[in-house]
Structure 1
Amino acid sequence: MNFNRLRVVANNVFAETIRDRILYVWGLFAIIIVFIIPVIREVASTVEDKILLDVGLGLMEILGVAVTVFISTGLINKEIDQRTIYLLIAKPLNISELIVGKFLGVSAVLSILVVGMMGLYLGILTLNQTSYPSLTALMISALFLILKLSLITAAAILFGVFTRSLVALFLTFGIYFIGNLSADMVKLNALVETPLFSRLSQVLFIIVPDLSRLDVKNLAVYGMNSLPGAVTLTANAGYGIVYTIALLALATIILAQREF
């Protein structure tokens, strides 16, 4: 795998995504937060700070996932539909470099998107004189959101190599929703003694990534003391990275077997 070729593919995806005005999501994020502050203040004045923290971090994830899915699911299909994949593969560029390069380009955009939203978020909190327990905890939450979005990007690319863009879009959203609930389904399985549900929950837990391991936003609003220890955080981050690599490897294998 050649680093220079990876960089070229990643830069092209990055430039194209920026050109599509994806980063205008920053503006949407800021507008929603600014408009929602008076509402929160009106209906929940006693717990305003806590709710605003929850809403801000939750909105970051919702917008991040939406951007991730709509960008990533069509990355490969667009090359196939426009017949440009023939030119790419004809060049000294192998399929793994194409997959990884596109993944890195999208991940760079998502990282900038999350960092920008977090910067706006902290600025609005400061102007609103909203207290938050720990800046470090919020930064860790942002980092884990980037890891989660990167994993979802890899899943979207995987679905995009063997399905149409619309199908890949629904499958990726499905992975996101089920992945956030898979751990809860296993816990529910212990309470519901139904063989079918038991088998289904076990299969989903094995196949679908456990995205709850990359979700620390609900704990971050309470400060560093509420977050898991360094060992657990590192293990969860490693889980996300390994799963992402596995999805990209599978996407590479499937695309290599396709006939264009």
Structure 2
Amino acid sequence: MSAGRIFVLASNVFKEVVRERIFYIIGFYGIILLALASLLPELAAATEHKMFPDFGLAAMSILGLIVAVFVGTGIVNKEIEKRTILMLIAKPVSRTEFVIGKYLGLIVVLTVLIAVMTAIFLSFLHYENIDYSLASIFIFVVFLLLQLSLITAVALALSIFTNQLLATALTFAVYLMGNISQDILELGRTSRSLSIERLTQALYLVVPDLSRLDFKDDVLYGLNALPQPQGLLFDAGYSLLYCIMILALTILIFSQREF
């Protein structure tokens, strides 16, 4: 496996996303924050200092999710539909390098996207004189990137063996189930049905628990509401391990597929 070939594939993904003007979504995010800054003082002047960060972080998460899902499910499908994948795998590029290169390229795209949106968000907080904890926001951004990295791995895996429409729907389903996995597990425990409890436990083990990577509410209450460093490290390790497992499964499936 060559790091040079992986770097070339990743840089090509970034250039392709730039050509498709995905980063225009940053301007859309700025418009959302501008609208919020104009409307919230009139709607809820007393709670502006909580509502603006809440809406701003939620918008950042949603826009990041949209990019992760739609670009993640389309990046390989486009190569398959245009048959350009035949030229790529005919060159001295292994299928493992292909998958890792595409994935890392998408992660770079998401990192740039979230970093710029965070800078815009902090600028608005400063302009509106809203108190905030920079450490809390930093932790939120890091774990948002981990969450989006996991969702990107899922999107990429699903796009390998199905069409983009179905892969998109399934990825959103995984995201929704991952955010309520704790509730699903609790539902099984209170159902008093052994079969339902086993089913919910199986879903909890298979579907990544994304709720442990969401620190939006913690940001609103300051650094003291965040978990201890050991807990943060455990959650980060959990997401990275899941990403590695999904990528390994993706490579295995991709290596067996015929084009």
State the TM-score bracket (shorter-chain normalisation): over 0.9
- What's 1:26 paired with? 26
Partner of 2:100: 100
Query: What is the Cα deviation at residue 188 of structure 1?
Result: 2.8
Q: Is the 8 A contact 1:138 1:221 kept in 2?
A: no
SS at match of 1:254: helix
Cα distance, 1:196 vs structure 2: 4.7
Shift of 1:38: 3.2
* Counterpart AA for 1:221: L
CA contact (8 A) 2:72 2:106 kept: yes
Greater mean deviation of Cα atoms: 63-72 or 78-87: 78-87
Give SS of 2:227's match.
coil
In structure 2, the partner of 1:154 is 153
TM-score when scaled to structure 2? 0.97
Letter of the aligned partner of 2:116 in structure 1?
Answer: G
Q: Mean alpha-carbon deviation: is it higher for 214-223 or for 232-241?
A: 214-223
Per-residue CA distance 1:29-65 (angstroms, 9 max, x = gap) = 1111111223322232222111111111111000000
8 A contact 2:188–2:198 mirrored in 1: no
- Structure 2: runs of 5+ lacking an equivalent: none
Query: Which whole-Å CA distance do the structure 1 matches of 2:51 and 2:194 have between them?
Result: 39
1: CA distance, partners of 2:3 / 2:145 = 22
For these two proteins, the number of residue pairs brought into alignment is 259
Displaced runs of 4 or more, over 4 A = none
What does 1:106-121 align with in structure 2 at a 5 Å threshold? 106-121=106-121
CA gap 1:188/1:37 in 2 versus in 1, 3 angstroms: farther
TM-score (ref. length: structure 1): 0.96
* Alignment-derived partner of residue 235 in structure 2: 236
CA deviation map 1:128-159 (0-9, x unaligned): 11121x10110110011011111111000000
1: distance between equivalents of 2:104 and 2:245?
15
Q: 1:233 and 1:86, CA in 2 relative to 1: closer, same or farther beyond 3 A?
A: same
Q: Please give the residue correspondences for 1:1-260 in structure 2 after superposition, counting only pairs within 5 Å.
A: 1-132=1-132, 134-260=133-259
Q: Identity of paired residues, percent?
A: 44
Unmatched runs of 5 consecutive residues or more in structure 1: none
SS of the residue aligned with 1:161? helix
Q: C-alpha distance in 2, partners of 1:225/1:203? A: 34
Q: Distance in 2 between matches of 1:42 and 1:94?
A: 58
Range with bigger deviation, 109-118 or 196-205: 196-205
Tell me the alpha carbon deviations over residues 72-117 of structure 1, each in whole angstroms, 9 at most, x when there is no partner. 1012221111111111111111011000000000100100100111
Distance 1:204 1:49 in 2: 38
Could you tell me how far apart the structure 1 residues matched to 2:173 and 2:206 are?
Answer: 12
